[in-house]
Amino acid sequence: AQRVTQPEKLLSVFKGAPVELKCNYSYSGSPELFWYVQYSRQRLQLLLRHISRESIKGFTADLNKGETSFHLKKPFAQEEDSAMYYCALQGGGADGLTFGKGTHLIIQP
Amino acid sequence: DTGVSQDPRHKITKRGQNVTFRCDPISEHNRLYWYRQTLGQGPEFLTYFQNEAQLEKSRLLSDRFSAERPKGSFSTLEIQRTEQGDSAMYLCASSWSGGTYEQYFGPGTRLTVT
């Protein structure tokens, strides 16, 4: 069975501080990992995927297969980063995504 | 094309009634997914289609749930004999099989069963 764990329900940091949202996964094969973000009153949208190794809006995430983690990081938080963040796993190519419960990130001024 | 659309956006129904939701994917996308999201949880995968073929339906929550995509374009999700526990946000997403598998989500249909 595949599982995604986001241990923090809520994370509050000050503007300009570093941010790390944790994600651990359980999957027997080689998964594809994603971070999705949902801003207030907007639909869920893809932030980044591990295979592209991009930096989007200053966020990066590195897949650590040894620790089965895919933590999301940003060195300097901005107020517009306040949102719900979901880590997701896709195990079989076209199959549906398995999501974590999400972390509500609040950036305080 | 402004993205994935869902109709209705909100639905209030009485327990025992049937409801049907519609999803219109991005026009060039051949894959379509349905998810359910309850309060405090991430989206939960229900089923998906490639063109008109339903390739995964074992995750549908019960036999009261069914989905169709008859012409490979829009899809409907039906819940028969609704229960209060069916109250949730129902999300649709689409993707293109020839691309990066990125799923684009719709705004969702919020179902309230009274």
Residues of A in contact with B60 (CB under 8 A): none
Q: Is A41 on the interface with B (CB under 8 A)?
A: no
Supply A97's token pair: 């995504």
B84: phi then psi, degrees, rounded to nearest 5: -60, -30
Q: In the predicted model, what is the mean pLDDT of chain A?
A: 92
Computed on alpha carbons and rounded to an integer, the radius of gyration of chain B in Å comes to 13
Tell me the C-alpha to C-alpha distance, in Å, between residue A80 and each of A16, A76, B38, B77, B89.
12, 12, 25, 35, 25
Report how many Cβ contacts below 8 Å link chain A to chain B.
Answer: 59
Three-state SS for B55? strand
Q: For residue range A56-78, what is the model confidence (pLDDT) as tens digits?
A: 899 999 889 899 999 999 999 99
d(CA B114, CA B102): 35
| pLDDT reported for residue A67 | 92
**B43/A97 CB distance under 8 A:** yes
Question: Searching chain B, which residue's CA lies closest to the CA of residue A33?
Answer: B102
Residues of B in contact with A100 (CB under 8 A): 42
B97 chain-A contacts, CB cut-off 8 A: 94
Token representation of residue A68: 């089965």
In this predicted model, what pLDDT tens digit does every residue of B9-45 receive, in sequence order? 999 999 999 999 999 999 989 999 999 999 999 999 9
User: Considering CB atoms only, which of B42, B97, B103 is closest to A100?
Assistant: B42
Q: What is the pLDDT of residue A73?
A: 95
